[in-house]
Structure 1
């Protein structure tokens, strides 16, 4: 019997750069309350998808006024990312605590993979 294995997160099928801007309600919370809100709303979603989707946070408000953060999502498949976003949209993090300014999906080294070539070394 063969079993279907889930691809590893070290080689995601898709990477999504979600550019977000903090909104006044989020900034009005104390630091403790911000972490409490993350634990309440975001952590359970991340736990449900931990084997299929990874999130990394980047603060950029030091260098730009358009967005304050970049959330980098790496997923083993598009469907896992889509399901996670559907859940995230049902939380106050989507358009209440943060405005989602832009979503930029990409595939790492697709330029090489699409032509059966090795990616440039980095």
Structure 2
């Protein structure tokens, strides 16, 4: 018999410090345009176009993962964390205006989620 503990929090106890933090998983696939760039050119693009956007929205944190050795669908996964979905929406809108979106990367899926809130 499994007994669930109930708490006054809508999330698991280990997530009570940030119950409203969203994690947005963005699955992308690199294009030939990105793969043909040298490392210096890739870094220049990130420093000139993507990082300035992130600096304008410090409430958004981004982590980058590369599953290409294990996946044929997504070559990269960007995980964004924020308590403010308007920050994500702003970043996403502005990212679409750069060569990131549909030039260097094909955006396959965007999945927003709350961490461990299945007891809600």
User: SS at 2:73's partner residue?
Assistant: coil
Counterpart selection for 1:35 from 37, 40, 43: 43
CA contact (8 A) 1:22 1:99 kept: yes
| 1:54 counterpart (61, 67, 74) | 61
- 1:1-122 map, 5 Å: 11=18, 13-50=21-58, 52-112=59-119, 114=120
User: Which structure: larger Rg?
Assistant: 2
Q: Give ranges in structure 1 of 5+ residues lacking alignment.
A: 1-9, 115-122
Q: Alpha-carbon deviation of 1:77?
A: 1.4
> What's the offset of the Cα at 1:25?
0.5
Alpha-carbon separation, structure 2, partners of 1:13 and 1:84: 16
Query: What are the Cα deviations for residues 27-76 of structure 1, in whole angstroms up to 9, with x where unaligned?
Result: 111011000011011000111111x1000000010101111000000011
- Structure 1 runs, 4 residues or longer, greater than 4 Å off: none
Paired positions, count: 103
The structure showing larger relative contact order (alpha-carbon pairs under 8 Å, at least 6 residues apart) is: 2
The normalised TM-score by structure 2 is 0.82
Distance 1:108 1:64 in 2: 24
The unaligned stretches of length 5 or more in structure 2 are: 1-16
Question: Alpha carbon RMSD of aligned pairs, Å?
Answer: 1.2
The TM-score with structure 1 as length reference comes to 0.80
